[in-house]
Chain A
Amino acid sequence: MKRRFVRMALVACVVLVSMIVMPAVAQIGSPYVYRGQVGDHPVDVVLQTLENGGIGGYWFDRVERVSVPLEKSPYRPDRPMLINLLPDKSDGALPFASLALAPMTLGDETVSGRWVDLRTRQERLISLRRFAHLLLDQQGEFDTHIVLPLNDAHFYFEAHVRKTRGEYAGGMYRIVVHDVRDGAVVQNLEVDAPFYWGETVHFTDFNGDGYVDFYLEHAQGRQHYLYMAADGAYRRFAPLDDLARSGTLRYGRRAKEPVLHRPESGVDYGSRMERWDIYRFSGPERIEKVGSLDTEFGTL
């Protein structure tokens, strides 16, 4: 009897201590999409809890048509919250505005507060309503369009995502490319990729032409889409799909940086060396191997 009590007490103790510690280390939560007004601007705001008890996401202004990241901030349910807006995600970027939100809990039907320009101190009222909850576990159910988090000079991208209750993952079925200058639809891309929130679409400029490109993470391998300036549209680019299927790809982070490809056969575990093939775009739509590089593990 005594042993049973001690065991029960210890279990209760572990549960109690976990309850105290857990809020501080809560895991990344599923995103909530809020829609509404900031002053006279319609906006979309995506909010989600992050590791270490944080909250973050991004903000899309449908008049200015820019998407900006929200600075990771402490999440304090039912207490006022301050969340800064950053011009981009670079280290040391200074916020330009702040959201001073009235006490709320993520998932609430409505969110209100003030948008404050940090330079001029000009304020606008925030009034948002919950629009979608992109819950990716089996209970989740949604069928909606979301603006993807990208701050680009030419385009913004809206994705149609859908999930029915009971499915293990949702799907992304269409990407609508909009002109950032006037919001006009540039292209409707029919796609079919599993939707894993931030892991589905990855943006980068593959060929250094100044236009953002992207790939979709797909069970059958990455699907690369390259912006073809001559057509004014995105097209599938099979050579990068092929490279991704046969090894590991590293895309250039800056314009004119090469694409690196490590073939599956290019790893020598005995000597801890790996071979990377260097590819360059010889034209906006042509890629060719220009050399190879032998490096120790982890140096690239």
Chain B
Amino acid sequence: MKNMAVVLCMLMAAVPAAADEQVFRGRIGTENIEMVLQSGNALYEGVYMYERHRTPIALNPRIINRFVDYGIDELDEQGLPRARFVFRRPVFSRQVFADRRNGAASGPDVTGKWHDYRDGRAVDFELTLMSYVSHDEIVSDGPMELLQQASTPEHFFRIPIHREGQRIERILVLSKASGEQVQSLILPQPACYGGIRTLRIGEGGTPEVTGRFSNCPRYQLDYDAASGQFSVQTVNAAP
């Protein structure tokens, strides 16, 4: 009984605040983009990437309580707002997939305007929900390889997600120049899932896989410029 109470407490404390990820594909004007929105407790954050440029662009976290003409800023290299996505007709529900199958939904799930703060330009955008990831379910119209917000000057990263529970076993390394996958790094032990920020850039620009809890293994991805390859170094193994 004593142990049960302690285990119950540990389990409850270990449950992260519910966060869902929605993966979209669509376009801004004529430019194809991919976007991931991550939401939990009314906090929305995200990342998006032009298919042509292949550099993830961070979206500034926002607290959104009402889904009326709300905006999320994209950030420049200095972390300052550069442009804003103003969402209209947002559909973020996993119900979209069922509605599409039975013909109740068609066309883009999200539309709106992208406003460039610097020149005042406003361009239409539209997005279609491709995948929905929650703590207990993954609904996807294709392989689920979640784009990461952090990137290095030459590479960006994705994490394959295969099942609920979301332990991360591999990191995919892709070239910004070609868009091709250049490496699939297998982690010695599964890492904790952190959505679009599972991988972060640490001191000195080195990519790191960390977790929110002390029992998450931590890895560092060391880059060898001569071979152009990353290798996984364990910083902290799981206890």
- Choose one: B1, B17, B42, B80; the contact of A82 (CB below 8 Å): B80
Please indicate the chain A residues that have their CB under 8 angstroms from the CB of B41 in the complex: 24-25, 52-53
- Choose one: A17, A25, A74, A118; the contact of B62 (CB below 8 Å): A74
The contact sample of 20 A-B pairs, CB cut-off 8 A, is A2-B1, A2-B2, A5-B5, A6-B2, A9-B9, A10-B5, A16-B9, A20-B17, A50-B63, A52-B42, A53-B63, A74-B43, A82-B60, A84-B73, A91-B70, A94-B71, A95-B81, A95-B117, A116-B80, A118-B81
- Quick one: given A21-B17, A52-B43, A118-B117, are A73 and B2 in contact (CB under 8 Å)? no
For residue A286, CB closer than 8 A to chain B, the reply is: no
- Judging by beta carbons under 8 Å apart, are B79 and A119 in contact? no
For residue A54, CB closer than 8 A to chain B, the reply is: yes
> How far is B115's CA from A12's CA once the two chains are assembled, in angstroms?
49
- Judging by beta carbons under 8 Å apart, are B79 and A82 in contact? yes
Please indicate the chain B residues that have their CB under 8 angstroms from the CB of A116 in the complex: 80
- Choose one: A12, A20, A100; the contact of B79 (CB below 8 Å): A100
A-B contact sample (20 more), CB < 8 A, given A6-B5, A51-B65: A2-B1, A10-B9, A12-B9, A13-B5, A13-B8, A16-B12, A24-B17, A52-B42, A53-B41, A53-B43, A54-B63, A73-B61, A74-B62, A74-B63, A82-B79, A92-B86, A94-B117, A118-B81, A118-B118, A121-B118
The DSSP consensus for interface residues of chain B is: mixed
- Judging by beta carbons under 8 Å apart, are A91 and B81 in contact? no
Closest approach, in angstroms, between the C-beta of A81 and any C-beta of chain B? 10
Interface size class of A (residues with CB under 8 A): 20 to 34
Query: With contacts defined as CB atoms under 8 Å apart, how many contacts are there between chain A and chain B in the complex?
Result: 90
> How far is B64's CA from A50's CA once the two chains are assembled, in angstroms?
12
- Judging by beta carbons under 8 Å apart, are B2 and A24 in contact? no
Highest count of chain B CB atoms <10 Å: which of A5, A21, A82, A92: A92
Smallest Cβ-Cβ distance to B113: which chain A residue = A92
Please indicate the chain A residues that have their CB under 8 angstroms from the CB of B70 in the complex: 91
